Amino acid sequence: MHPVDSIIVVVYFIAVVVVASLFSKSQQSLKDFLMGGRNIPWWAAALAGVATVTSAISYIGAVGLGFSTNFGFLQYRLAVPMAIAVICLIIMPFFFQLRLYSIYEYLEKRFSPMLRLLGSGLFLLFKCAFLAVGIYAPALVMSVLMGIDPLWIVLVTGVVTTGYTLLGGMKAVIWTDVPQLLIMMGGIFIVIFVAASRIDGGFGQVFALAGAHGKFDYVNWSADPTDTYTVWSGIIGGTFLIISQFGADQAEMQRFLSVNSLRRANWAFVTSLLVASLIGFLIFFEGAVLFAFYTQEGNTDIPTNEVFIRFVINELPIGVKGLMVSALFAASMSTISSVLNSMSTVFMADFHRRFSRGEGSVRVARGMTMLFGLVATALACLGGLLGNLLEASTTIINFFGGALVGVFLLGMLSKRAESGGAITGLVAGFVAVLATWLATSVSFMWYSAIGGITTLVVGELYSRLSGRRPRAEQLKLVLKVPRLVRRGR
């Protein structure tokens, strides 16, 4: 990589650390460190939410899928209206009104301490796996660009991001996420317009070539559950997937709970989800543009994880290449910082308070941020064992997320559900997904729905058969139909 590009990347890293350091002295309490004082502007929370889900995994993996397949992966976006209704009308009001640090605290209030610990532990487990993929993604590019072992890039990305996250807390996460998202967006448009400008006929030829090869195909009506991407897995599985990403995930929900009203929290969530959906289509379009470019070049036999990398290396001019690498790091670091902060929040609220019998301190929260960052970085060193990064990360989310969605909805919707039923349902949901993965060829896009529905059904049936009933104070945490009706007027 040219020295100019290297300087741009180094300046980016320095700027991120400087911005984070501006908030280091304001972290006087856990409320400041973990929740940003609950006075974050809703638009900043929304953009930070977009940056969290739009990671380097998307930057590399989604471009690769758009290049090698079509828009079929994005059929799960058909579930956006249903997911918005469930989160805005059911989930968000409970979380916001209870003023929770950790959303898993709801599980204790509604069911039992054991279920809270199970939900929190499951979240920490799957976020460590997810972070490993997110940290590994930029290493793919930098190792090729600079001829450096990916291990060193993994270590630098993980350590620097962990450092600025523990330095500035939630405010540092959000106020670095916002410019990082803008850098990411700029990078997407750079690749699209540079590639189109190198194609004879420009965008007209892009649509002709990509369209002729089915790159813009979107809808697949197949009812075969082994087909990876279909309308049915998109709507049914996608509903549970999106809810697990935004409504039952501390990393996302924590952004929305950091604002000062329920209305603004809902605005932040809806804006975040819609913008993230738009960016998803834009990145897949980027993959289709690169397909048209390499079709003209007579070379489309490129592994999916290398498409973006090859274009950056071979086609972008000096300076722009450095901006693109910075955009890639921005995509990765915004996700890593958000998830690390949420993991620390969950540990402090759900484990430290219980077992130390104290509120904890900013020092302890920073220590846990460092520990989780080091664990995730260590796991990222195994990133070479993964396939397409987007599919790998989506599989991880689907594998763990559905059962968590199921147990939250069980508590919020069922007046009969009690602790034993909820725990049994959660375990059954996870086992059902595990069995589906091991014994069948069912698409991973169904995993969230399988886990969520199994948890709901088993939890409800067990609760009814047990004969035990929730306590009066627990029933206050169940959705009342009149409230839903009034809210809809």
Longest CA pairwise span in the chain (Å): 72
pLDDT of residue 208: 92
For residue range 360-378, list pLDDT tens digits in order: 667 777 888 888 888 878 7
Residue 464 pLDDT > 60:
yes
Q: What is the CA radius of gyration of the chain?
A: 22
Percent of the chain scoring above 90 in pLDDT: 31
Q: What average pLDDT does range 111-124 have in this prediction?
A: 89
For residue range 59-88, list pLDDT tens digits in order: 777 888 889 888 998 999 999 999 999 999
Residue 91 pLDDT > 50:
yes
pLDDT of residue 56: 65
Q: If you ran DSSP here, which 8-state letter would residue 149 be given? A: -
pLDDT of residue 326: 79
Among 28, 64, 306, 23, smallest CA distance to 177 is for: 23
pLDDT of residue 484: 43
The residue extents of the domains of the chain are 31-390
pLDDT of residue 422: 95
On whether the CB atoms of residues 453 and 409 are closer than 8 A, the answer is no
Q: If you ran DSSP here, which 8-state letter would residue 220 be given? A: -
For residue range 310-323, list pLDDT tens digits in order: 888 888 888 888 88
For residue range 147-192, list pLDDT tens digits in order: 777 777 777 777 887 777 776 666 767 777 777 778 778 888 989 9
Residue 487 pLDDT > 60:
no
On whether the CB atoms of residues 265 and 256 are closer than 8 A, the answer is yes
In terms of average pLDDT, the best of 13-17, 27-31, 101-105, 478-482 is 101-105
For 45-117, list the strands marked E by DSSP.
none
Place of tokens 């329920």: 262
For residue range 274-316, list pLDDT tens digits in order: 988 898 899 999 999 999 999 988 888 887 777 888 888 888 8
pLDDT of residue 488: 42
Among 326, 345, 277, smallest CA distance to 46 is for: 277
Among 428, 446, 87, smallest CA distance to 246 is for: 87
pLDDT of residue 298: 84
Token code pair at residue 76: 């799960």
Percent of the chain scoring above 70 in pLDDT: 85
Among 14, 15, 12, 369, smallest CA distance to 162 is for: 369
| Reported pTM | 0.82
pLDDT of residue 389: 52
On whether the CB atoms of residues 229 and 73 are closer than 8 A, the answer is yes
pLDDT of residue 417: 94
Amino acid letter for position 105: E
pLDDT of residue 485: 44
Q: What average pLDDT does range 110-138 have in this prediction?
A: 82
Task: List C-alpha distances in Å: 313 to 306, 316, 327.
Answer: 10, 7, 14
**Alpha carbons 79 and 68: distance in angstroms, whole number:** 24
Place of tokens 């009308």: 89
Q: Is 31-390 assigned to CATH 1.20.1730.10?
A: yes
On whether the CB atoms of residues 293 and 202 are closer than 8 A, the answer is no
